[in-house]
Amino acid sequence: MTTHTPELSPEEALARLQAGIPLLDVRGDGERAAGMAEGARAVALNQLLASPERWLPGPEAEVGLICATGVRTRAAVERLRAQGYARLWSVAGGTRRWAQAGLPMTAAQESPEFLERYSRHLRLPEVGLEGQRRLRAAKVALVGAGGLGSPVALYLAAAGVGTLTLIDHDQVERSNLQRQVLHGEADLGQPKVESARRRLQALAPHLCIRGHQVRLVAANVESLLAGHDVVVDGSDNFSTRYLVNDACVRLGIPLVYGAVERFQGQVSVFHPAAGTPHGCYRCVFPQPPPPDLAPNCAEAGVLGVLPGLIGMLQATETLKLLLGIGAPLQGELLCVDALSMQFERIRLGRDPHCPACGPAAVNHRYTDLPDQCSS
């Protein structure tokens, strides 16, 4: 051992472990999922540094620390030695060198492919192994595979959401390619759900991608959305938007809302559970504008990157809901102006007379509205 940063080789550390000296694996749960030095105890580094007296027998006790490569434990040993824990040592090269030396390891808790693909998630305490498994078991319905649906689908698939249901009746047109990044020139004329499925399966072959090439209407909205953990609205017409909202309220499914027009966009989360002050989409927009006042999507235009920005915010909100982390945009409308790059948060209330989530909701029926843009 050196004077300043005591280190032992993995072989020396194993001998000390077999002699009864404790060895603490200070990596996160997700990192340890790939296996750990057999006989080591799991203690997160931040917990150890915050309360060393809880995890270390005493200032004079000999204890070893092991991480992934030895970098974190070298720094931790120096810090703890300065606090009087003079007999700590670090495993040189960490778990990586321990495994390379063929020393005994516990079995991996997931496949090598899973652990490598999601390694950056596994290192986040807010996600970790259990969170990634939760994403794998999750089912998300995505209404629309166009401008908003493209970034949402790509990032949810990349994040490991196990089942994605795509609902879109449309076909790929050349004018879509300026913003709908799921599709390419070779997909022109093909159903968007099929084009999207191929792109997503190429990104994550192990995921379940379901496609429904149908128009979402009053007669099928519940059957299409039921059984999902979250619904993401990437639609572009008021009829679909109100139907999705009403079905999510009735089914008790969180709805991640997004909309874009020209250089501006909006994002929110609607989940009006009983006894909460949070309302639904109808509480904010009780009625669509008259058809003659609704902007024409093709004529109004949209900056190509704006759906990407709003869609990524929708994907972020979806992952937060699935993982149960952070503060979702429930009860707030996030408004984005891409030209000034300003973000404004508007507090939303709940309409006690809302036909979808209020007391009268029991008599509320699904209704197909005339086609009109919902930018």
Would the pLDDT of 371 be above 70?
Answer: no
Give the three-state DSSP class for 95: helix
CA atoms lying within 13 Å on the CB side of residue 28? 15
Q: Which long-range CB contacts under 8 A does 42-50 form with residues at least 24 apart?
A: 44/125, 45/72, 45/76, 48/24, 48/76, 48/80, 49/76, 49/79, 49/80
User: What is the arithmetic mean of pLDDT over 334-357?
Assistant: 95
Query: DSSP character for 129?
Result: H
The separation between CA 290 and the C-alpha centre of its own chain, rounded to angstroms, equals 36
pLDDT in tens, 65-109: 999 999 999 999 999 999 999 999 999 999 999 999 999 999 999
**Which domains, ranges and CATH numbers included, belong to the chain?**
7-110 (3.40.250.10), 138-363 (3.40.50.720)
Q: For residue 217, which of 371, 27, 24 has the smallest C-alpha distance?
A: 371
pLDDT-based confidence at residue 364 (cuts at 50, 70, 90): confident
pLDDT number for residue 200: 98
33 CB neighbour count, 10 Å cutoff: 22
Closest CA to 266 of 221, 310, 204, 327: 310
- Decide if pLDDT at 373 tops 70: no
Kindly give the residue spans of alpha helices, DSSP state H, lying in 93-237.
94-100, 112-117, 119-122, 128-137, 149-159, 192-203, 221-225
Residue 120's alpha-carbon distances to 89, 139, 337, in angstroms, are 27, 22, 31
In angstroms, rounded to a whole number, what is the distance separating the alpha carbons of residues 26 and 21? 16
Ramachandran quadrant class, 243 (left: phi over 0; alpha: psi -120 to 50; beta: rest): alpha
Q: What is the pLDDT of residue 369?
A: 86
| Average pLDDT of the segment spanning 163-189 | 97
What does the DSSP assignment read for 171-194? B--GGGGGT-TT--GGGTTSBHHH
β pairing state of 139-143 and 332-337? unpaired
Digit-coded pLDDT (tens) for 4-55: 569 999 999 999 999 999 999 999 999 999 999 999 999 999 999 999 999 9
